[in-house]
Amino acid sequence: MGSNDIPPPHVNSNYLLIHHLIMGTGGLLWTTTYVLMTRQSFKDKSYSMPLFSLAFNFAWEIIFALYVAETFLEKTVFVTWMLVDLGLVYAVLEYGKNEWAHAPVVVRHIGKIFMVSVMWWCCALWAICSWWVDPRNPVNPKEGKIYNGKVGPDTTELGWWTSLLAQVILSVMLLAQIVTRGHSGGASYSIWATRFFGSLIGLNGYYGYCWYVWPEAHGYFTNPFAVCLWITWVVADIAYLVVLRDVKTSEIVLKNGRKVRREAISCIREMAFSSDEDEDFKRAIAMSLDSSQASRAAPVIDLESDDDEDDELHRAIALSLQDNEKTELEPELGILRSNLEPTENPPFKYTKAKTSNKQATHNSVESTTTKTPTPRLVPGLSSLDRKSMEQQRLARLAKRKRSPSPDPPSKIVRKEKSPKELESNSALQFPHGTIKRTWAYKNARTNDIKLEEVLQAATLKIAVISAFNWEDEWLLHKLPPTKINQFWVMSCKGKELQDKWLADAAANEVPNRKIRFPPLDGQAQHMHSKLLLLSHPTHLRVVIPTANMIRVDWGETPSDWQPAVMENTVFMIDLPRRQDGEVGKKDDLTWFGKELLSFLEAQNIDPVVTKGVLKFDFSSTQKIEFVHSIPGHLTEQYSGRTGLPGLSTAVRRLGLDHVQDLQLDYATSSLGALKESTLRQLYRASRGERSLLINDTQSKVLENVRVYYPTNDAVAQSTGGPDCGGIITLGRKDYDNDAFPKSCLRQHVSNRPGLLSHNKILLARGCKQDGKPFAWVYVGSANLSESAWGSQRILKSGKEGKFTIRNWESGVLVPVADSAFEGVKSGEVPPLSVFKDTIEIPFECPGEGFGNKQPWFFRP
């Protein structure tokens, strides 16, 4: 614009040359800005330019390229910008869902909203431009200004007002965007620099020079309104730089590139160095943040029976049809959802009566780990247009099969197997229980198991799943909701946040899935339990893993070249249906069954689930114990049966008390403000002592307890490197405290080189007062922390204070068979080899002390 101007004699003869040089410099910087914005958007899985501003910008380039520009050079510049802007447009359409998860309507229609905005701006700009350069009556004509061979129409001033307005809108909306997001997704210092100086030179500098040398034609530059506008955008951009610097110091960066505001998790900073640190809570930040999907419950069959056509079943189905449950794990928590993007399973989204999938999670800081990462889990949630992708997938499937339409979800779930099929699947795989380590990609298979092998999805009817972090899209690929009814038990504190999660999920629908949030009142912090109840036509599989529902925890990776980075442990037992087909009574259950049912009842799980559990035979659990932690006001209600007192009670029920000598080896993935008093209470509970506060400070407890945790070198040299250490948490402040029992620490080294551990395993071995050796193992979700196991203190009055627990936890205590102690002398503590037929210990035990090595410290 202004290329054909004929300036008056008093104007410097180099006017046009300098004019082109300044404008060219600004244009080059803005072209660089567009490229950097596009690259950063793809890297962060976000978008850089606000949707409304991008629509204005794109429309401005269209109108000026096709209608206003005169010369070939001008047209080339505008068309080039249009083409470069296509990358920004793609980023909005591709990743806009990540930033608008709180507004489902926008998520569903973001493409339409953008197109309507562009069309509106095109109409508005065309109206202004056609009015401005009307050859019969141009706006504010000037001598020396030439347009289409006519003297008078001034496209330079037209460009000034329209581009200045676009700049003000962009700068103000960018400032609002970063303040609202609280993270720097799609932004960087280099983008700010090229954008700021591009506008400063190409707008303020260019028009300021024109005014300076040719004031009579460019007096609008000093118009009070114009001055207000160009000062406004400068101030807004400087403020933007201040905010950018601030959010970069506090944001959480997930391994898949997503960025999350730290403030979204109100207690994250407290968790990083609190005395009750919980690594899985941090993973959730990473988790879940990927994009959110939803769930509306379709007909759901209860756990009572897949075969019974009784009135209760009909009522359960009728009730479930009225439910509208939703969940969103992408957000502030992220959750955890490890942010590993599936390679074999493209993301897709549920719509009514169609299959789909939602991704939660990762990641977590548990996700942080998951880098693989980081996982970098997910949460979850992809920002692709899954609706259209799913429609295309279904169309391809129909074309291949050329078969009649499948039954709707409710009919698929209701279909029953023939007696012959049921008979062929009647054999129980683990009727007495087993402990296995999780499969790890690119590692030799030994006594391990894949998640698919755990789930047995081919015959699975109902799944009740508890976990702290989720990759729901990944999980739904393994558990098709059109065939399997699902209850997901998740961690979310506060009705407001719970309502938000459920409401945000309304945009998408996942059939046959219900979301449940156990009570988290008062001091209760997290639902950290990991538990699966898998109901098949022939049996109920009870699964107690140390792993969350994210791929990294189950040994999977997103790429063929990437080996597994994390390992966990799983306890499983298969319980047959009652032969009489009746619903049993809680009082008739084994202690394992009673405590499992009490745990479910305390979590307010649907009665159809707890009643369904009673249709299975628990007699094979007579010699094992379900150990749980129930937090908040419920702790007192279950006094003596939960937390450390519950562990003590379980030990006594199995006849493993009256201990003379005891050795403990505890592998944990998180250590908070560990104290000697905590270890003493754990030690007494493991002995089956009824009181945990006996003053026995003279006993050599610390010599008998070893805590396995990785060194900084071990994490750095692991398969995933430091980026995968996010779920392994210990605060430097806690470690440096004089009360921290450093002498108990041992180096955690996996038997599978390069793997990090998310295990929570307690190995106990000793001899009783009568000289008889014994050993048992705990596997579950509880880390070695007061949050997980609870604590009790002596009050100033000398009385015992209340026992307090902060997390929901679940685990199992499995004694070692007597046959393992052959050759062990009476009165001797048995060696670690006695565990070989009970659990394949996944780490080097006993381990080496830390010496001069530093432990791995959590990096937020």
Which residues are annotated binding-site positions?
530, 760
Rounded to 5°, the CA angle 719-721-725 comes to: 110
Q: How far lies 235's CA from each of 159, 165, 175, 197, 803, in Å?
A: 22, 15, 10, 13, 56
- Grouping H, G, I as helix, E, B as strand and the rest as coil, residue 155 is helix
* Residue of 669, 671, 741, 674 lying closest to 701 (CA atoms): 741
Tokens 């083409």 belong to residue? 83
Cα(288)–Cα(306) distance, rounded to whole angstroms? 33
Note if 528 is an active site residue: yes
Contact 726, 268 (CB under 8 A): no
- Asked whether the bond before 642 is cis by omega within 30 degrees of 0, the reply is no
Cα(409)–Cα(759) distance, rounded to whole angstroms? 37
In the set 218, 362, 748, 758, the catalytic residue is 758
Residue type, 29: L
> Which segments are annotated as binding site for substrate?
530, 760
- Asked whether the bond before 342 is cis by omega within 30 degrees of 0, the reply is no
- Grouping H, G, I as helix, E, B as strand and the rest as coil, residue 581 is coil
Find all residues with CB under 8 Å of 804, minimum gap 6, and list them: 523, 635, 790, 791, 792
* Residue of 333, 379, 336, 335 lying closest to 358 (CA atoms): 379
In angstroms, the first-to-last Cα distance of the chain is 51
Cα(259)–Cα(248) distance, rounded to whole angstroms? 10
In the set 183, 528, 536, 539, the catalytic residue is 528
What Rg, from alpha-carbon coordinates, does the chain have? 32
Tokens 């908070």 belong to residue? 672
Cα(184)–Cα(169) distance, rounded to whole angstroms? 19
Q: Where are the beta strands (DSSP E) in 548-637?
A: 566-567, 569-576, 625-629
Active-site amino acid positions: 528, 758
